[in-house]
Structure 1
C-alpha cells in the first residue's frame, strides 16, 4: 500500500530510491526468466515428446495462467507485508519449480511438464509486487517513468529466449536449469540484505479477501484490466509463442528463433519506460491510443507473412514497440486513478488480467494454425479486432475523464 503523505514529503526525492528500483528490476527480470524457461525450449520438447501444435501451445501457456492469477494475491499481500519480504520469498521459492521442470523434461514426461509448469507460474507473480513497491518510492509526477523502468524487467523473457537455448547447447539441459535456480536464490539473498521499503509505505492490515472485493468494486480496476490484457497480454503471447511461430512459418531452428524472439522482447522492454515517460508528458490515454492503433495495423501486416529477414524482423520489432508503449501507459493510468491505499491490490488484479491476456492467444494460435499454408492468419486478425475494440474503449474513457474534469 502507498499512503499519501503531506505535500512537501510527496514531492521530495527519497534517498535510496534508485537502488531499490534497481533491486526490484533485478528480481523482476530473473523471475521472468524463470517464468519463461519452457517457451524457448518448446520446439525441443515438441520434437522429443512428439507433441502436436495444441499440446505445445498448452505447455507454453500453462505457466502464464498461474503467473497471472497469482498476481491477484501477491498484490494484496504486498500491501500488507511490503515489497522486500514478497520479493525475497517469491524469488527464492521460484528456484523449486525450475528444478521440477528440469526433472520432468529429463525423464520426458509431458503430464509432469504441465504440472510443474503450472507451479512455475509462481515466478510470474512478482510484477504485482514491484508496481506498488516502486510507486511508494516516487512522487506522482515521476511514477510513470519509474514504473515503466521497473516494467522493463519483463526483458527477463528476452534473456530467457536468447540465452536458454544457447546455455542448453553449451552446458546441457540439466546444468542450465541448475544455474538458473542458483541465480534465483542468490538474487533472493541480495534483495533481503539490500532492499528496503519506502518510508512512505505503511502496511495495510485489512483482510485479503475483503480488500480484493473492495478493489473489485472499483471501475478503474476493470477498465485498466481490460486494457492491460490487450497490451501486456499481446507481449506475453508473442514472447512465449514466437519461437514456435518462427519455426512453423519461417523454418528457423531453436537458437535462431530464440535470438529473434529476444529481439522482439528487447524492443518491448525499451519501449515500456518510454511509454511511461510519454504518459507523464502527454497523458496515458494518448499513448494508449497510439499503441493500440499501431498494434492493430501491425497484426494485419504480420498476417501477410512478410519475407525474412529485414522486412519480417522490422515488422515484429515495430509491433513490440507499440505493445511496450501501451504497457507503460496503462500503469501510469493506474497510478493516477487508483486510490493510494489500493494500488497493490488493484495492480494485482490488473496484472492478472495482463497475464491472462497472454494465456489464451497461444491456445488460439495453436488451434487456428493452417498447416497447409504455414500461416496463423485467423489468430492475427483476431488480435487486430481486439486492439481496435480496446482503442475505441480508450477513446471513450479519455473523453469521459475530460468531461468530468470540465
Structure 2
C-alpha cells in the first residue's frame, strides 16, 4: 500500500472515517436501547435482579458472537457494503424492542433483544474499513477515531430515558429506527471503500481457522475482553448500579452513565494515538493498572456525586485508553489479509467480555448490605491477572505477525 497522500485523498479518507464513526455511533445507540431502560422494565414487569441482568446481557452476547462473522465478511465485501447492511438489519429489531417493551412482555423483549444484537456487530466492520484508508503508521489514530463511535452508548444512556419521557416508549424506538434508515441512505450515496481495498474472496471458515492459529488473535482477545468488555458492561449495567446503590431516578442514572461512556469514548483515540508513539504494551499496562485501582476504590461506594463521579469517570478513561491501545496493537501485528478475521474474533471477545459482568453483578448482588463487592473485586483480580500476562508474556516491540496456514 502506498503511503503517498494527496489533499484529495486526505479529504476523502477524513470524510469516510467521520461517516463510518457516525454509523458506529447510531448502531451503538440502537445496541444499547435496553440498558438505560432496564430499571424501568424491571419495575413495570416485576423482574428479579437476575432477570433484569439477562435482559441487559442478551444483546451484548449476540453482538459479540456476530462480530466473528461480520469481520471476515468485511474482508470479502468491503466496509461500505457491510456498514450499510448492518445498519439496515438493525431497523426491525429496534422497532421490535419498542413494541415488546410497550406490551410489557418479558419473553418478547428477550427475543427482540437477541435480534438487536446485530447492531453491536458494527465494530468488527469499521476497524478494517478504517485500516484500509490509512497507512500503518496512522492506524492507531484511525481506529481510535472510529472507536469514538462508542459515543452512541453515551447518547443512548442520556437521551433514551428522556425521549421516553417526552415522546413515549414506542415513539422513541421509531425515532432511532428512522435515524438508522437515514444513515443507511446517506451511506449509500456518500460512503466509499478505500482505493487500496482488495476483496478477499477466500471462504470465511478457512479464514477464521487461519486467524485462530495466530497467537496475536488470542493474546489480543484476552486483553480486549477486559478493557472493551468492561466498558460495555458498565455502559449497560451502570444505570441499574447507580439506581440501586445511590437511589437516583432512571433519568438521573442515565445522565451519569452517559458521562461514563463519553469519558471512555474521548479516551479511546488518546489510547490509539499514544500507541502510535510508544509501544502499545505500555499503554495497555497503564490502562489495566488504572482499571484495577478504580474498581477497588468503587468497592467502598464513594459518596455521590463528586467522589463517585470521579471514581467511575477515571475508570472509564482507563478503559477507553485500553481499548484504543489494544486495537492499535491488533492493527500493528495482524497480517494485512487477515485484519478483518482477526478483528472479528478480537471484537467478539470484547463483546463477550461485556456479556458476563452484568450477569455476575446481578447474581452476586448482596441485597442485605446493598453492595456489589464480589463483582467489583472480580474485576480487580482479572485486571491484575492481565497486567501480569502483558508484562511477562508479550513483547513491547516485535515483527508483524505472519499468516498462519489455512
Common topology (TM > 0.5): yes
Q: Give the TM-score normalised by structure 2.
A: 0.96
SS of alignment partner, residue 203 of structure 1: coil
Residue equivalent to 1:374: 370
- Kept in 1, the 8 Å contact 2:226–2:353? The answer is yes
Q: Distance in 2 between matches of 1:397 and 1:344?
A: 25
Match of 1:190 among 172, 179, 186: 186
1:41 equivalent to 2:37? Answer yes
Q: CA deviation at 1:38?
A: 0.3
2:67 to 68, 71, 84: 71
Query: 1:12, 1:139 within 8 Å by CA — same for their partners in 2?
Result: no
Q: Which position in structure 2 is the counterpart of 1:10?
A: 3
* CA RMSD in angstroms, aligned pairs only: 1.3
Contact 2:333 2:399 in 1 (8 A): no
8 Å Cα contact 2:279-2:397 kept in structure 1:
no
Counterparts of residues 216-255 of structure 1 (less than 5 Å): 216-255=212-251
Partners of 1:211 and 1:345 within 8 A in 2: yes
Matches within 5 A, 1:136-151: 136-151=132-147
The counterpart of 1:21, out of the listed 17, 31, 37, is: 17
Aligned with 1:37: secondary structure? coil
- For residues 395 and 157 of structure 2, the distance between their equivalents in structure 1, rounded to whole angstroms, comes to 40
Distance 2:342 2:78 in 1: 15
Q: 2:316 aligns with which of 315, 320, 338?
A: 320
In the other structure, the counterpart of 2:404 is none
Q: What is the number of equivalent residue pairs in this alignment?
A: 398
Q: Following the alignment from structure 1 to structure 2, what is the Cα–Cα distance between the partners of residues 282 and 149?
A: 18
Where does structure 1 lack aligned partners over 5 or more consecutive residues? none
Shift of 1:12: 3.1
Cα distance 1:181–1:225, how it changes in 2: closer, same or farther (>3 A)?
same
- Kindly indicate whether the alpha-carbon contact (under 8 Å) linking 1:65 and 1:121 is maintained by their aligned counterparts in 2: yes
**Is the contact between residue 41 and residue 47 of structure 2 (CA under 8 Å) also seen in structure 1?**
yes
1:67, 1:202 → 2: CA distance? 26
CA deviations 1:215-250 (Å, max 9, x no partner) are 111110000000000000000010000000001111
Name the TM-score, length of structure 1 as normaliser.
0.96
> 1 CA distance for matches of 2:298 and 2:398?
35
What is the SS of the residue equivalent to 2:3? helix
Q: What is the deviation of 1:400? A: 7.3
Counterparts of 1:4-403 in structure 2 under 5 Å? 5=1, 9-12=2-5, 14-15=9-10, 16-399=12-395, 401=397
Compute the displacement of 1:187 (Å): 0.1
Q: Secondary structure at the match of 1:163?
A: helix
The question of whether the paired residues in 1 share the 8 Å contact of 2:279 and 2:396 is answered with no
